[in-house]
């Protein structure tokens, strides 16, 4: 029974071992291809970075932008994020459930996986290295305000910070607050303001000037 305390069950650790095995195979493949002069490791790093920073999180940015412009969608996202997100064509690979947590004027949400690296792949793509690293995983819970300040986010003292611990079964998407001065923005322009970090909670949406 302690196995399921925290929601990180047996199945989940199989999943992690599977990933470790896959990572080892990928590494081996990369080494062989590099030695044969077929690939440049720097080019691989650039591709991974593109997936982490740009391509992966675009799905989540579209979900957030839609929630900002469409109150019915936002309501649906609040009630049943898995279904609302799936309606845009973004579904998990293992049937994991999604929950959207909305930042407000007095509450900021921060997502972590304290035990491993559960991450909402379907909307954010590949997790950043820091998300999987022990310092973030432990400190996000103990000292969320300190962690946020290291990411350059300073919140008013009165703002409550809620920390959400992801599991294999339930993953979180932070819906950042819509920036001021974006009233006339198209959904596409709004999506351009939604950064990966703002959907993990280690950042805020960009200000209006960023896209216009």
Structure tokens at 66: 């839609």
Closest distance to Fe ion from the beta carbon of 168 (Å): 6
Catalytic residue status for 166? no
Closest distance to Fe ion from the beta carbon of 114 (Å): 8
Structure tokens at 71: 């109150």
The answer to whether the beta carbons of residues 174 and 111 sit under 8 Å apart is: yes
113/194 with CB nearer Fe ion: 113
Which sign, positive or negative, has the C-alpha torsion 31, 51, 195, 113? negative
Contacts by 68-73 with C-beta closer than 8 Å and gap 24+?
A: 68/178, 68/182, 68/187, 68/190, 69/187, 69/190
Closest distance to Fe ion from the beta carbon of 11 (Å): 12
Please pick, among 2, 117, 122, 149, the residue that the annotation labels catalytic. Answer: 117
Q: How far apart are CA 113 and CA 153, in angstroms?
A: 20
Contact residues for Fe ion, defined by CB under 5 A: 113, 116, 118
Please pick, among 118, 122, 166, 198, the residue that the annotation labels catalytic. Answer: 118
128/179 with CB nearer Fe ion: 128
76/119 with CB nearer Fe ion: 119
Which positions are catalytic?
A: 113, 116-118
């Amino acid at each position: 029974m302690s196995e399921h305390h925290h929601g990180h069950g047996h199945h989940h650790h199989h999943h992690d071992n599977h990933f470790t095995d896959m990572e080892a195979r990928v590494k081996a493949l990369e080494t062989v291809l590099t030695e044969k002069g077929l690939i440049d490791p720097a080019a691989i790093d650039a591709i991974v970075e593109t997936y982490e920073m740009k391509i992966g999180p675009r799905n989540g940015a579209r979900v957030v932008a839609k929630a900002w412009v469409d109150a019915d969608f936002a309501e649906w996202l609040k009630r049943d994020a898995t279904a609302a997100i799936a309606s845009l064509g973004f579904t998990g690979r293992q049937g994991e459930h999604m929950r959207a947590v909305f930042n407000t004027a007095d509450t900021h949400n921060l997502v972590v996986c304290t035990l491993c690296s559960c991450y909402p792949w379907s909307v954010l793509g590949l997790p950043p290295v820091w998300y999987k690293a022990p310092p973030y995983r432990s400190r996000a819970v103990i000292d969320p305000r300190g962690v946020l300040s290291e990411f350059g986010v300073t919140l008013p003292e009165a703002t409550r910070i809620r920390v959400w611990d992801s599991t294999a079964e339930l993953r979180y998407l932070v819906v950042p607050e819509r920036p001021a001065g974006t009233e006339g923005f198209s959904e596409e322009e709004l999506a351009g303001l939604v950064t990966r970090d703002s959907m993990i909670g280690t950042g805020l949406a960009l200000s209006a000037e960023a896209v216009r």
